[in-house]
């Protein structure tokens, strides 16, 4: 559904002056500080109990109804846009809270009530998006020319476009069909995810010794009769059983098995089964492609990809396709060399000069070829403190929750303090079993810094309209801050401020950081190639449709063969668990745009002195604080220079030179 009351990320709601963001990806949640008497989940007094979600929705609907009534009486003006922004904020506060709760809360009742609240407010959101009174008020306010500020004009334009994504400007018959299609698309997305959960697949492995002992506790033990031995007494045969394990091949388990199990046949079987389920999603994807294509055509577009990309910087699927193919060509030579490196390693290990490299070998062999990860203790929080103080001139410290504000005893709340502002940041970190210390491996630290980039985008946002706050930006710009902050997680100048051995306190050695970076970069071309492949699949499936229905298995297999050196295993269809097809639909390329933009910003702005206040000031004032209130291409150019991007065929493509230099392409 096109959301005039727009939510680009679940975590994007923000008050106009005091930022309120609820990060639903289990890494971050932020809220404005609350008075001591205010209690309730996330600082909302109404959420003292699970059933408070019902009242939360009721109050939001009542408040929005009053605002809508006021708008209907207003002349075309900037006040209309202000009131629409209040509606957006009110609805988003409920949606964000419900989404965070249902994804993180340990109490079943809270989760159930949050689910109900999410469904109710989503239905109400649909009502708002099809409200002609609100649409006409926005349309007239934009056309009358009485709006003074640039941001208000952008807000009016953005609201109108978002309304029209739902087809509100179409004749009644077409609008009804658009509503039907949007409902169908939402149901198909839900079915896709449910199928992944209900049909994860499994492999029964015998004997138990095929599974490393340190992994065996993750799997269900099973038993079978030993095969009979000649001349063995019958009674003895019946008593002897062989132990094995049932390996459920959900995505997380499959990833671990492929990385850590040395037994090649076990990896092969789990790869094949894990990438062949759920078969029901083949039909779901076909229906999704058909529904999205019909929707796009009603909207006057040649494809769903055109419909989805048109509001973004790229502007058209042709621009994205050319960008992806150029990247693919640039990375191919080095990716092929990396493939050969792995193949040679396998042939050496197997003592077989003709051994073929199989898809189920990749994670295991590359893991062996890389240096092992380093455990970093919870002083990474100290590192973040030093980082934000050095770079942004702000401090943060621990603070207690108000009663009922948190959803789990392990959650910590940290107060960020700036001389002119105060906001609170709430973070979740994994606990080590039996220890009060939270130890993170380096990949967790990278994830932490990635999400911290999103957090800062919201926390430092200072827009007049919450509609543009923080991560509320065009899709192919949204991941840039998070990608930028990943660089900080790999820079020794940053790591030495907090990466210490959890028991000795020894600072992480520079040689180890250098080794970690070499391991990280060892197969970087193949990883980039993989992201290009995902983007091409996403773009092709939702691109212009052939006369007869496409065979998605063949398309995915052909693209893999064309873009990589890896084989396609007949009978597999891994894309039936690729949920980004549901969530992004022709937008997966945005990760690559962000990667290119971040590489340029790091090289041009941060690399020489990443911890300096002047670096942070530039990132904050020229970039983070504007959210979506300004043209993203102008923000990028102002921060990193005109060469960071270029116009091409009516759209924007990122400059790839910094990324290529970084990867030695």
Catalytic sites, residue numbers: 451
Alpha-carbon distances of 21 from 187, 263, 584, 593, rounded to whole Å: 27, 46, 21, 24
Q: How far apart are CA 343 and CA 355, in angstroms?
A: 8
The CA angle 254-257-261, to the nearest 5 degrees, is 160
Q: How far apart are CA 271 and CA 563, in angstroms?
A: 21
What are 305's two structure tokens?
């990809």
Q: What is the dihedral of CA 339, 342, 344, 350, to 10 degrees?
A: -140
Q: What is the dihedral of CA 234, 239, 243, 247, to 10 degrees?
A: 80
Q: Identify the helix (H) or strand (E) that includes residue 632.
A: helix 632-640
Q: Which residues contact 469 (CB under 8 A, 6 or more apart)?
A: 12, 13, 14, 19, 21, 458, 461, 463, 627, 628
Residue whose structure tokens are 């509606």: 87
236: burial class by Cβ within 10 Å (0-12, 13-18, 19+)?
Answer: exposed
Residue whose structure tokens are 């699949």: 537
* Edge-first strand listing for the sheet containing 202-205: 202-205, 241-248, 220-225
127: burial class by Cβ within 10 Å (0-12, 13-18, 19+)?
Answer: exposed
Of 507, 531, 530, 527, nearest to 519 by C-alpha is 527
Q: Which residues contact 333 (CB under 8 A, 6 or more apart)?
A: 665
Judge whether 529 and 552 are in contact, CB under 8 Å. no
> Of all residues in the chain, what percent are helix, strand and coil, respectively (each to 5)?
60, 10, 35
> Maximum distance among all alpha carbons in the chain?
98
Buried b (16+ CB within 10 A) or exposed e, 416-453: bebeeeebbbbbbbeeeeeeeebbbebebbbbbbbbbb
Of 445, 416, 437, 412, nearest to 426 by C-alpha is 412
Alpha-carbon distances of 240 from 179, 455, 489, 561, rounded to whole Å: 62, 58, 53, 47
The CA angle 393-395-398, to the nearest 5 degrees, is 170
Q: How far apart are CA 204 and CA 200, in angstroms?
A: 14
Kindly report the backbone phi and psi dihedral angles of residue 241, in degrees, each rounded to the nearest multiple of 5, phi listed first: -125, 150
Of 339, 341, 354, nearest to 560 by C-alpha is 339
Helix axes 317-350, 590-601, angle to 10 degrees: 80
Judge whether 200 and 208 are in contact, CB under 8 Å. no
Q: How far apart are CA 27 and CA 70, in angstroms?
A: 39
Judge whether 23 and 454 are in contact, CB under 8 Å. yes
Q: Which residues contact 604 (CB under 8 A, 6 or more apart)?
A: 640, 641, 644, 658
């Amino acid at each position: 559904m096109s959301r005039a009351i727009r939510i680009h990320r679940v975590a994007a709601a923000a008050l106009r002056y005091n930022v309120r963001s609820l990060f639903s990806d289990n890494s971050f949640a932020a809220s404005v500080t609350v008075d001591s008497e205010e209690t309730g989940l996330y600082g909302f007094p109404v959420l003292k109990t699970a059933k408070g979600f019902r009242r939360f929705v009721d109050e939001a609907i009542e408040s929005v109804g009053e605002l809508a009534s006021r708008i209907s009486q207003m002349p075309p003006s900037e006040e209309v846009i202000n009131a629409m922004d209040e509606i957006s904020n009110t609805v988003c506060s409920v949606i964000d809270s419900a989404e965070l709760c249902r994804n993180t809360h340990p109490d079943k009742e809270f989760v159930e009530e949050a689910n109900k609240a999410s469904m109710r407010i989503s239905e109400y959101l649909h009502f708002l998006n099809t409200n002609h009174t609100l649409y006409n008020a926005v349309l007239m306010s934009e056309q009358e020319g009485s709006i003074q500020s640039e941001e208000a004009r952008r807000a009016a334009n953005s609201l109108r476009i978002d309304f029209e994504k739902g087809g509100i400007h179409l004749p009644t018959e077409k609008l009804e069909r658009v509503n039907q299609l949007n409902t169908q698309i939402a149901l198909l997305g839900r079915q896709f995810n449910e199928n992944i959960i209900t049909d994860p697949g499994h492999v029964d492995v015998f004997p138990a010794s095929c599974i490393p002992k340190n992994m065996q506790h993750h799997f269900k033990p099973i038993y079978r009769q030993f095969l009979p031995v000649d001349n063995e007494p019958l009674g003895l045969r019946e008593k002897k059983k062989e132990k094995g394990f049932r390996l459920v091949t959900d995505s997380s388990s499959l990833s671990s098995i492929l990385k850590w199990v040395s037994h090649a046949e076990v990896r092969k079987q789990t790869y094949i089964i894990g990438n062949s389920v759920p078969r029901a999603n083949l039909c779901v994807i076909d229906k999704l492609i058909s529904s999205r294509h019909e929707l796009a055509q009603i909207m006057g577009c040649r494809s769903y990809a055109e419909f989805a990309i048109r509001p973004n910087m790229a502007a058209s699927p042709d621009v994205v396709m050319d960008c992806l193919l150029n990247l693919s060509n640039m990375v191919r030579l080095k990716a092929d060399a990396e493939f050969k490196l792995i193949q040679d390693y396998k042939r050496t290990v197997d003592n077989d000069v003709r051994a073929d490299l199989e898809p189920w070998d990749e994670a295991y062999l590359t893991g062996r070829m890389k240096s092992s990860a380093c455990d970093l203790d919870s002083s990474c929080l100290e590192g973040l403190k030093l980082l934000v103080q050095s770079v942004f001139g702000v401090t943060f410290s621990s603070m207690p929750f108000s009663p009922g504000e948190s959803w789990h005893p392990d959650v910590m709340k940290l107060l960020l303090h700036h001389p002119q502002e105060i906001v609170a940041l709430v973070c979740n970190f994994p606990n080590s079993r039996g220890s009060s210390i939270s130890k993170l491996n380096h990949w967790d630290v990278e994830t932490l810094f990635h999400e911290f980039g999103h957090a800062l985008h919201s926390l430092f946002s200072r827009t007049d309209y919450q509609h543009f706050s923080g991560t509320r930006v065009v899709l192919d710009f949204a991941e840039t801050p998070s990608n930028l902050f990943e660089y900080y997680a790999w820079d020794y100048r940053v790591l030495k401020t907090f990466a210490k051995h959890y028991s000795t306190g020894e600072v992480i050695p520079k040689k180890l950081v250098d080794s970690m970076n070499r391991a990280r970069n060892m197969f970087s071309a193949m990883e980039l190639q993989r992201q290009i492949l995902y983007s091409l699949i996403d773009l092709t499936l939702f691109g212009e449709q052939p006369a007869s229905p496409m065979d998605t298995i063949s398309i995915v297999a052909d693209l893999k063969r064309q873009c990589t050196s890896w084989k396609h295993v007949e009978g597999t269809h891994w894309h039936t668990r690729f949920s980004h097809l549901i969530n992004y639909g022709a937008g997966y390329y945005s990760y690559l745009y962000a990667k290119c933009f971040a590489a340029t910003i790091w090289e041009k702005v941060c690399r020489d002195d990443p911890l300096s206040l002047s670096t942070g000031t530039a990132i904050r004032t020229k970039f983070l604080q504007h959210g979506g209130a300004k043209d993203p291409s102008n923000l990028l150019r102002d921060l990193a220079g005109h060469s960071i991007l270029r116009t091409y065929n009516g759209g924007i493509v990122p400059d790839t030179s910094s990324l290529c230099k970084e990867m030695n392409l």
